[in-house]
Amino acid sequence: MRLTGPLERVLRVLTADPSAQHYGYDLMKSARLPSGTLYPMLARLQQEGLVQSEWEAQREDAGGRPPRKYYRLTAEGARVARLELAHASTQARRAAQGIAARPVEEGTR
């Protein structure tokens, strides 16, 4: 799994509360992604077994709203996402330190 910027944002939203149910538009707003990026990504994650989806049960108080499809991380997905996100933030920190502390001789050599 290659952690791209959009994927990282989706995983951050999903791991914030692994038991929470998110529908597509909700994820689009929280991860600030367009629908054309989000849905293929969710489909891929689902295919890899990291995300599961289920249809909302039809409720009486829904006001005639059609049932939505909800997404959340699987147990495996939560584990992988935490690892990947931790890895990404260590790398980002290391890169930031690297830029700050890059020795001058590296350029002259």
Partner 1 sequence: MSGTPHAQRIAERLIRASCRRLPGELRAERCREWSAELPAILHDETIRPGLIRALRALSYSVGVSTATRRLSRAAGRSRSARAPEWRDGAMHVRPGNLAVRATVGAAAWLLTVFLTVSLLRAFPSHGWAVVISLVSAAAFAVFCLADLARADAVRYLPKWAWALICIAQIPSGGIAYLSVGRVGRARPAPSGHPAQLP
User: What's the min distance (Å) between Cβ of 95 and partner 1?
Assistant: 26
Question: What distance in Å separates the CA atoms of residue 25 and residue 10, rounded to the nearest whole number?
Answer: 12
Whether 109 and 46 have beta carbons less than 8 Å apart is answered as no
Please choose, from the candidates 55, 70, 75, the residue with its C-alpha nearest in 3D space to the C-alpha of residue 21.
Answer: 70
Binding status of residue 65 toward partner 1 by CB under 8 A:
yes
Three-state secondary structure call for residue 51: strand
Residue 90 C-beta: closest distance to partner 1, Å: 30
Q: Does 24 bind partner 1 (CB under 8 A)?
A: yes
Residue 6 lies near partner 1 (rule: CB under 8 A): no
Q: Which residues bind partner 1 (CB under 8 A)?
A: 23-26, 28, 34-40, 43-44, 65-69
